[in-house]
Amino acid sequence: MFFVDTFLANLGDWGPRMLSGLRGTLMLTAGGFALAFLLALALEFLRSRRQAALRLIARIYIAVARGIPILVILYLVYFALPGAGITLPAELAATIGLAAVYAAYLSEVFRAGLEAIPVGQREAALASGLTPFQTFRLILLPQAIRHTVAPLLINLVSLLKDSSIAALIAVPEMTLVSREIMSESFLPLQVFALTALLYFCLAWPASLAARHIEWRLRFPKTKRKSQAPVDRLTTASSSS
């Protein structure tokens, strides 16, 4: 009861500040995912080329990005780049750092989606006069995205949770705001319980959507099969 009373008594002060942090988290997640999506497409295009040098560049990048912790990447972007004369705001540095890491993961997702497409479609597109880039953009990519919607959503949820690491470089997102409120109120349980609830309310619907999409793609004809007897019965009744 003390937990609930304390929580409700401070909600008027915490609420607006947490909503501000929530907005920062959503912007960081959306920006990082959009940039990672574009970088992943570029990586997968390089990896699909016949030139060995281009494929090697993409593979090295993916191996390095997946082998370094996200926090180290953020520190390199935010603290190391100023030594080279490049100073970025914390929000932009966090967006670039998260995108640099998740581009490698999304590239693997796109690779799986492209491998699900018959090789003959690529060969037919090239034989019809399309360039490799046109083949990738017009023929292969739309099909690959359809196969990878559920994994993309799962990676989006992971990026949403990993965005909390940006608090360590002073990005004003939910975790940083929660730490500030906790240091003022000395109520860590109530503050971070609210933070956990907000993260859960964001991540859970996306996870359910990913499961639903995966199920629909895995069993695309289930619904139509179940409706077939009903349709036949309706037709027979109308004809009689």
> How far is 15 from 19, CA to CA, in rounded Å?
6
Question: What pLDDT is recorded for position 101?
Answer: 96
Looking at residue 221, the DSSP 8-state letter turns out to be T
Q: What is the mean pLDDT of the chain?
A: 85
Q: How many CB atoms lie within 10 A of CB 76?
A: 14
Taking residues 167-196, what's their average pLDDT? 90
Which residue has tokens 């992943």?
A: 40
Answer with the residue of higher pLDDT: 75 or 141: 75
Question: What pLDDT is recorded for position 237?
Answer: 46
Q: How confident is the model at residue 230 (pLDDT cuts 50, 70, 90)?
A: very low
Question: What pLDDT is recorded for position 217?
Answer: 67
Q: How confident is the model at residue 2 (pLDDT cuts 50, 70, 90)?
A: low
Q: How many CB atoms lie within 10 A of CB 236?
A: 9
Of 172, 162, 168, 194, nearest to 24 by C-alpha is: 172
Rg (alpha carbons) of the chain, rounded to whole number: 24
Task: Compute CA distances 37 → 52, 59, 129, 140, whole Å.
Answer: 23, 17, 28, 16
Instruction: Give the pTM.
Output: 0.83
Q: How confident is the model at residue 240 (pLDDT cuts 50, 70, 90)?
A: very low
Structural domains in the chain plus CATH codes: 19-173 (1.10.3720.10)
Q: Is the pLDDT of residue 234 over 60?
A: no
Question: What pLDDT is recorded for position 38?
Answer: 94
Q: How many CB atoms lie within 10 A of CB 143?
A: 15
pLDDT digits (tens, 9 = 90+) for 29-63: 999 999 999 999 999 889 888 888 999 999 999 99
Taking residues 117-145, what's their average pLDDT? 83
Taking residues 103-126, what's their average pLDDT? 86
Q: Is the pLDDT of residue 203 over 70?
A: yes
Question: What pLDDT is recorded for position 138?
Answer: 84
Question: What pLDDT is recorded for position 236?
Answer: 46
Q: Is the pLDDT of residue 208 over 80?
A: yes
Q: How many CB atoms lie within 10 A of CB 146?
A: 13
Taking residues 80-93, what's their average pLDDT? 92
CB 71 within 8 A of CB 165: yes
Taking residues 113-138, what's their average pLDDT? 83
Q: How confident is the model at residue 220 (pLDDT cuts 50, 70, 90)?
A: low
Question: What pLDDT is recorded for position 3?
Answer: 65
Q: pLDDT above 70 covers what percent of the chain? A: 88
